[in-house]
């Protein structure tokens, strides 16, 4: 028996114009959690797609238990015990929990008909592994929380009894508590001898869950280390090849803020939120904190005219406005960077340059016509300014790494120089280097006079960047804290306050 359950040696993978992997090595021991870190576009997901038979490497070898293997299809990899939970969830929303877990491998009975009882029993057994016996296996997965959908996804991946389970950015849509639950689940899997490959941009998590870590940079293998022997600085300097000291920059003096740019008075909509009032001054970044379900995204969508509020008033530079569609909001100078780049905001199969132009049609037009030249110039500037890693602005967005997609989206909005910009989870899935760049861009935009509302579940980011923090819970504003004076405890106390006895 080899010391390693899975090994990759000298993997090279090129796409037209990009060398995504350039001689990468990886060694995974049985039952360990092995983290892979690297900046956006470093090649992490590509390496995983090679290990799971989705991409065929140009050269290099894969060994399982010391023996070379070649995968021609993802099926081959599954057969050899390699399973993956993708960066973006891939369940069928209308199918039941049980059907999703055993997709393609449903137990059949007489005449090959699916044996529903057997299917549900087996699913119940699987759910019990993670103490989720309370979930009825016949529930369509669309009714499950994101965290529980992910559990289903993991159960689906381990239903084939793999030796290695790959998790690509599994915590990017989870709350802190849900992430802790996931870690507990990972520990249960490794205790059963399953090795987990864990990809995340949250370096704290690496120290919490992983035993070993491999660092990639620009498609190259940089180093491998035992987590107990290293610290965060060591990881960061190996990932980005430089030291990053202050990722949030310095906060401006509140005296430099201008007049009230945006104001909401008593906004409400159904059960989503009610009585929400706040104002943001020109130059100010106001952070919105709260648990998932606190109503922050619903509030943002209302302000943006996507689902208008049914009570309350909005003011931009002192004038009452009532956008009833995103188009009207954009025309007024309101921008909204959505939290979910997969379903909103980006056109994955369209070229980068059109994604950047999408919100700026007026700026890129001459008379009635769109100017190809202006679009191209604008796109190239965004690619340069945001250091988007791509072979060209004509490439489709799908070919970009997750973090680079986020930078395209941000580039599209910042280019419009909105009066009021809402950014919803602006750095989800974004690496530490790009994150500090994004904070810099937001600061620079604010300095030019834009008022910014930042919704974030990342408490460190809220505390690091906000000039003022508003905490929401169950659709209501629970309090406001001065940014520089805020502490984690103070924000959490407001976000979880039990004054109404509601449990989120």
Ligand X SMILES: Nc1ncnc2c1ncn2[C@@H]1O[C@H](COP(=O)(O)OP(=O)(O)OP(=O)(O)O)[C@@H](O)[C@H]1O
Binding site for ligand X (CB under 6 A): 15, 18, 20, 38, 40-46, 389-390, 399-404, 431
**Residue among 53 and 403 whose Cβ is closer to ligand X:** 403
**Smallest distance from ligand X to CB 432, Å:** 11
- CB atoms near residue 232 (< 10 Å): 12
Q: How far apart are CA 438 and CA 153, in angstroms?
A: 31
**Residue among 181 and 390 whose Cβ is closer to ligand X:** 390
**Residue among 34 and 122 whose Cβ is closer to ligand X:** 34
Q: Give the contacts of 447 (CB within 8 A, at least 6 positions apart).
A: 252, 283
**Smallest distance from ligand X to CB 356, Å:** 16
**Smallest distance from ligand X to CB 51, Å:** 12
Q: How far apart are CA 228 and CA 207, in angstroms?
A: 8
- Indicate left, alpha or beta for 57 from its phi (over 0: left) and psi (-120 to 50: alpha): beta
DSSP secondary structure string for all residues of 140-181: BGGGS-HHHHHHHHHHHHHTT--SEEEEESTTTT--HHHHHH
**Residue among 424 and 431 whose Cβ is closer to ligand X:** 431
Q: Give the contacts of 332 (CB within 8 A, at least 6 positions apart).
A: 316, 321, 323, 419
E-only strand ranges, 429-475: 451-455, 468-473
H or E stretch covering 436: helix 432-447
Rounding to the nearest 10 degrees, give the CA dihedral for residues 31, 35, 41, 45: 20
**Residue among 15 and 347 whose Cβ is closer to ligand X:** 15
Binding partner selected for residue 149 from Mg ion, ligand X, none, CB under the kind-specific 5 to 8 Å limit: none
Q: How far apart are CA 148 and CA 156, in angstroms?
A: 12
Binding partner selected for residue 399 from Mg ion, ligand X, none, CB under the kind-specific 5 to 8 Å limit: ligand X
**Residue among 402 and 433 whose Cβ is closer to Mg ion:** 402
**Smallest distance from ligand X to CB 369, Å:** 31
**What separation in angstroms does the CA of 503 have from each of 133, 185, 497?**
21, 23, 9
Is 212 one of the binding residues for Mg ion (CB under 5 A)?
no
**Smallest distance from ligand X to CB 14, Å:** 9
H or E stretch covering 207: helix 203-209
**Residue among 83 and 401 whose Cβ is closer to Mg ion:** 401
**Residue among 390 and 456 whose Cβ is closer to ligand X:** 390
**Residue among 185 and 401 whose Cβ is closer to ligand X:** 401
Is 45 one of the binding residues for Mg ion (CB under 5 A)?
yes
**Smallest distance from Mg ion to CB 429, Å:** 8
**Residue among 54 and 370 whose Cβ is closer to ligand X:** 54
**Smallest distance from ligand X to CB 290, Å:** 26
Q: Which two tokens mark 394?
A: 């004509």
Binding partner selected for residue 236 from Mg ion, ligand X, none, CB under the kind-specific 5 to 8 Å limit: none
Q: How far apart are CA 196 and CA 212, in angstroms?
A: 11
Kindly state the DSSP code that residue 87 receives in the 8-state scheme.
S
Binding partner selected for residue 186 from Mg ion, ligand X, none, CB under the kind-specific 5 to 8 Å limit: none
Binding partner selected for residue 43 from Mg ion, ligand X, none, CB under the kind-specific 5 to 8 Å limit: ligand X
Task: Single out the segment in contact with Mg ion by CB under 5 A; choices: 42-50, 149-157, 347-355, 406-414.
Answer: 42-50
Q: Computed over its alpha carbons, how large is the radius of gyration of the chain? A: 24
Task: Single out the segment in contact with Mg ion by CB under 5 A; choices: 146-154, 303-311, 401-409, 457-465.
Answer: 401-409
**Smallest distance from ligand X to CB 223, Å:** 16
Q: How far apart are CA 498 and CA 504, in angstroms?
A: 10
**What separation in angstroms does the CA of 227 have from each of 167, 203, 223, 224, 240?**
18, 11, 12, 9, 18
Is 405 one of the binding residues for Mg ion (CB under 5 A)?
no
Kindly report the backbone phi and psi dihedral angles of residue 33, in degrees, each rounded to the nearest multiple of 5, phi listed first: -100, 120
**Smallest distance from ligand X to CB 139, Å:** 31
**Residue among 54 and 374 whose Cβ is closer to ligand X:** 54
Binding partner selected for residue 426 from Mg ion, ligand X, none, CB under the kind-specific 5 to 8 Å limit: none
**Smallest distance from ligand X to CB 469, Å:** 28
Q: How far apart are CA 284 and CA 484, in angstroms?
A: 13
**Smallest distance from Mg ion to CB 402, Å:** 5
What is the contact surface with Mg ion in residues (CB under 5 A)? 45, 402
């Amino acid at each position: 028996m080899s010391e390693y359950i899975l090994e990759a040696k000298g993997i090279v993978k090129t796409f037209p114009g990009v060398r995504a992997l350039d001689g990468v090595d990886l060694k995974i021991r049985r039952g360990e959690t092995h983290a892979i870190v690297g900046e956006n576009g470093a090649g992490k997901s590509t390496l995983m797609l090679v290990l799971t038979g989705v991409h065929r490497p140009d050269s290099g070898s894969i060994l399982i238990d010391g023996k070379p293997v070649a995968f021609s299809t993802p099926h081959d990899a599954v057969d050899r015990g390699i399973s993956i939970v993708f960066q973006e969830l891939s369940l069928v929303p209308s199918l039941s929990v049980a059907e999703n877990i055993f997709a393609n491998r449903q137990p059949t009975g007489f005449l090959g008909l699916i044996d529903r009882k057997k299917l549900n029993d087996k699913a119940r057994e699987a759910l019990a592994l993670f103490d989720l016996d309370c979930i009825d296996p016949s529930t369509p997965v669309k009714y499950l929380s994101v965290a529980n959908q992910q559990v289903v996804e993991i159960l689906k991946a381990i239903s084939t009894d793999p030796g290695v389970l790959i998790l690509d950015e599994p915590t990017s849509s989870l709350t802190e508590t849900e992430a802790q639950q996931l870690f507990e689940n990972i520990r249960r899997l490794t205790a059963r001898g399953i090795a987990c490959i864990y990809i995340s941009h949250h370096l704290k998590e690496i120290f919490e869950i992983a035993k070993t870590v491999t660092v990639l940079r620009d498609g190259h293998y940089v180093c491998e280390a035992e987590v107990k022997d290293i610290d965060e600085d060591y990881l960061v300097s190996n990932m980005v090849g430089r030291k990053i000291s202050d990722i949030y920059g310095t906060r401006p003096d509140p005296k430099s803020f201008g007049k009230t740019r945006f104001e909401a008075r008593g906004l409400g909509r159904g059960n989503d939120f009610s009585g929400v009032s706040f104002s943001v001054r020109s130059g100010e970044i106001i952070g919105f904190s709260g648990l998932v379900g606190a109503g922050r995204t619903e509030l943002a969508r209302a302000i943006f005219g996507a689902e208008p509020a049914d009570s309350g008033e909005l003011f931009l530079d002192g004038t009452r406005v009532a956008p009833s569609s995103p188009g009207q909001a954009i025309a007024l100078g309101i921008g909204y960077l959505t939290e979910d780049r997969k379903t909103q905001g980006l056109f994955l199969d369209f070229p980068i340059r059109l994604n950047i132009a999408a919100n700026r049609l007026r700026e890129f037009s001459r008379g009635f016509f769109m100017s190809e030249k202006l679009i191209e110039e604008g796109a190239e500037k965004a690619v340069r300014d945001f250091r988007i890693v791509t072979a060209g602005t004509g490439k489709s967005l799908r070919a970009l790494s997750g973090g680079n997609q986020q930078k395209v989206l941000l580039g599209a909005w910042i280019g419009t120089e909105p009066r009021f910009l809402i950014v919803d989870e602006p750095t989800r899935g974004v690496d530490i280097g790009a994150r500090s760049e994004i904070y810099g861009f937001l600061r620079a935009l604010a300095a030019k006079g834009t008022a910014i509302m930042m919704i974030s579940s990342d408490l460190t980011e809220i505390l690091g960047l906000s000039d003022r923090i508003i905490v929401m819970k169950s659709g209501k504003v629970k309090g406001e804290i001065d940014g520089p004076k805020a502490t984690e405890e103070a924000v959490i106390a407001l976000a979880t306050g039990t004054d109404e006895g509601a449990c989120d």
